[in-house]
Amino acid sequence: MNPDQRKNLETMVEALGKSMAQAWSYFYVLKGMHEGAKTSPSVTQAFPWFLEQVWRAMFDAFFAKVGTLVDGTSSTYSLPNLITLVRRYGDSELRKLIPEAEACMSDKTGPLEKIKNWRHSQVAHRTVRGEAHSFHTENKMGLVEIEGALRQLDEAINHLSWHVLSIHNDTNSAFEGLISEGKTLFAAVATGMDASK
């Protein structure tokens, strides 16, 4: 691979790392809200509408960001386009890495496919299909399943970037503290509510 090709791959991997980091940060905010609501239920009872809107906004941001990571549009910094660059620039040994990364994208029944469905039918386009009751039933997800999909995507990107460029991005550990911050925030609001009674 020539220096320009390597630079293109490095630019792609850097952009993917930034997008993965944002996706993880949104996920951890959601998890922090979830944990905070469990430990301080009086807060969700006092502010149900406000917290529901914040929750929905975080999910929309999350689905939009992950949707970009799996978008096949040619001008997008995404896993499919990273695969395309590895296929185009790589030698036969590097191209052998592609099937493992493609497996992440090809499972039509897994959690990553559900995230793609939410992004397309609810967040990006608000389709008739997305409004159907059956869509919600078929694409229902919990935070554990969402976390698994994120890990799968993160591993696929790092699989290629490590073997092709010797770059591994730790995109999630810096944001894990958002869980405890969410719990602390809910606890502080609950304490303030108790003090004002």
Contact residues for 29 (Cβ-Cβ < 8 A; gap 6+): 58, 178, 182
Q: Each residue of 130-174: pLDDT tens digit?
A: 677 787 788 788 899 999 999 999 999 999 999 999 999 999 999
Reading the block at residue 79, the tokens are 């896993």
Q: What percent of the chain shows pLDDT beyond 70?
A: 97
Task: Tally Cβ neighbours within 10 Å of residue 108.
Answer: 8
Q: What percent of the chain shows pLDDT beyond 90?
A: 66
Q: Across residues 176-184, what is the average pLDDT?
A: 96
Q: Each residue of 18-35: pLDDT tens digit?
A: 999 999 999 999 999 999
How many alpha carbons fall within 13 Å on the CB side of residue 33?
Answer: 20
* Cα–Cα dist 161/163, whole Å: 6
Q: What does R_g of the chain's alpha carbons equal in angstroms?
A: 19
Contact residues for 63 (Cβ-Cβ < 8 A; gap 6+): 115, 118, 119, 122, 123
Q: Each residue of 59-100: pLDDT tens digit?
A: 999 988 998 999 888 889 999 999 999 999 988 999 999 999
Q: Is 83 exposed, middle or buried (CB count within 10 Å of its CB: 0-12, 13-18, 19+)? A: buried
pTM, full prediction: 0.91
Q: Each residue of 91-104: pLDDT tens digit?
A: 899 999 999 999 88
One DSSP character per residue, 147-160 reads HHHHHHHHHHHHHH
Reading the block at residue 81, the tokens are 């386009």
